[in-house]
Structure 1
Amino acid sequence: MYPFAQSALSLLLVCLFCYCQPQGAASPSTPAPISISLKDTLRLDPSDKTYAATKAMVNRRRQALHTAYAAGRITLDSVRQAFTSVLLDDIIPYWYGTDWSFEGHTTVPRSGQIACGYFVSTTLLDAGVRLNRYRLAQQAPETEARMLNLGKDVLKLESHTPYMAAAQLEKQLQDGLCFIGMGSSHVGYLLKRDGQLTAIHSNYVMPSEVVAQPIMESVYVGFGTFYLADITWNDQLLKYWLKGGEVPTAKKKHPSG
């Protein structure tokens, strides 16, 4: 066979071999988690106002919403959107960067330290939810969830791997903010928005401060048991907030960091 013919035949065989391979086949591998920016979906910087001025503004807004709701001019869905915004956009941004410590219970953002339970109870209190922040913060994670759920069943989830934990939480939760208790030692908020899960908590590992971070980059997925209580979708809690009524809390003491 002529050299040219041999080369042509070889090229044809190579092309046929490549064409006959399964299309889209790839070597099996596990993709690494992708870090996402939160700046486009979550307010991370506080207002230029003082914290006291913002709390006063939030209280005026709550009173106006109560008047409008009592008169039938707005629905509870409008209230839930407003309350979620108060927490995420008005109150919590002041707390990012506040140092964590196991016994921290400061009332001043970025001054002193705050434990995970006190971060939740203090931000709820400052958003206008009348509760005993000490009693709530001193409970075990499951008990805190039951307190905030005000008699409704607490959603309990269990998982064995970080990916399973994130997948279960994403599947079970509606868009909105909820309280999450983990195991017997950690609590925080969990936000589901646009299909993404964000952990908002006083973080006990580096950088050991109040943070918002994608769930796969947080300590949340290191736990195997989760207790969840609605915040955005908690109608009873919203009505307590609107009316300025005191949320009942128990006295059972169990520190959580």
Structure 2
Amino acid sequence: MKLLFSLSLLLMTSLRGCLAQTPPAEAPANPPLTPAPYSAPVYRATLHHFEARRQRLAARYKRATTPAARAARLAEARTLFLTALDSTIFPAWEGTAWEFYGQTWEPRQGSIACGYFVTTTLHHAGLRLQRTLLAKQTSETIIKNLCTETHIHRYRGLSRTDFVQQVRQQGPGLYVVGLDFHVAFLRVREGGAVQMVHSTYLDPGTVVREAAEGSEALVSNYRVLGKISADDALLRNWLLGRALVARGATVKAE
């Protein structure tokens, strides 16, 4: 166990829409960084470590007796949720092949469609959702199942540059963006850098993390943006291990 824990810390430090739609023609690539090293046993051990931390934090949340104390625990939950995705889950999935019908559960094995990438990574982070059912929905339906309307914004006709600026103005956090032919994560960092994390049908045809300003996959006439890291209801469900009930599904899971 000590060896796995040490390897986990080393990995952490070193380290869809799509199925219902037809992708547009390929566009010039925005070369991503080389994927980080990946080890399946270390990945699983690290997810287990994060799950144990989530459970301990959930117990502390339940023991909190004041609104201020519960708010403090929820702030810790937000940090833990984002850390699991940023340090372990997103890096592990980089380089996994995109495929229109791809639905692998395992990073860098098989292939994964954009909607499945969103739902699978959130599932690996500990969010109890109907992974297959949601992955087959339109990108807007996926977002509406993750966020309340308070945290959802819609845009039409903006250039890619103007849209990224709009996202940046909403502040640091994790977003899911729904596009005409795609669904992806946007990660806004302190300082304003905006990354797009997604399984892309464009070159290189894999899961990538890249600068949003240069991502041709972000070109779209209509965009739906949900700031999932700001939604306390979602974070509370994640923290307490509550299952999300799928709403508005128009395509049934097999």
Mapped to 1, the partners of 2:141 and 2:196 lie a distance apart of 20
Counterparts of 2:76 and 2:56, CA distance in 1: 12
- Deviation digits for residues 26-76 of structure 1 (CA, Å, limit 9, x no counterpart): xxxxxxxxx89979xxx9555785332222222111101101222236431
Alignment-derived partner of residue 191 in structure 1: 187
Match of 2:62 in 1: 70
Please show how residues 41-60 of structure 1 align to structure 2 within 5 Å.
44-46=36-38, 49-60=41-52
Deviations 1:65-108 (A, max 9, x none): 10122223643112111111111112221100000011100001
Q: Which residue in 2 is equivalent to 1:135?
A: 133
Residue aligned with 2:95, SS: coil
Give the alignment's Cα RMSD to 1 decimal: 2.5
Which residue does 1:8 correspond to in 2?
Answer: none
Change (3 A) 1:204 1:244: same
Amino acid at match of 2:89: I
Aligned residue for 1:246? 243
| In structure 1, C-alpha distance between the alignment counterparts of 2:146 and 2:236, rounded to whole Å | 13
- 1:247, 1:237 → 2: CA distance? 9
Q: What is the total number of aligned residue pairs between the two structures?
A: 216
1:30 corresponds to which residue? none
> Per the alignment, in what secondary structure is the counterpart of residue 189 of structure 1?
strand
Partner SS for 2:98: coil
The residue type paired with residue 242 of structure 1 is: L
TM-score between both structures, scaled by the size of structure 2: 0.77
Write out aligned runs for 1:144-163 (5 A): 144-150=142-148, 152=150, 154-163=152-161
- The structure carrying a bigger helix percent of its residues is 2
Tell me by how many angstroms 1:217 deviates. Answer: 1.8
Which residue in 2 is equivalent to 1:96?
Answer: 94
Q: 1:210 to 1:46 in 2, by over 3 A?
A: same
> What do residues 116-147 of structure 1 show as CA deviations (whole Å, max 9, x unaligned)?
00000000111110011011111111111111
- Larger Cα-atom Rg: 1
Q: Structure 1: 5+ residue runs without aligned partners? A: 1-34
Deviations 1:222-251 (A, max 9, x none): 112211112211111111111111011133
Q: Flag structure 2 segments of 5+ consecutive residues without an equivalent.
A: 1-29
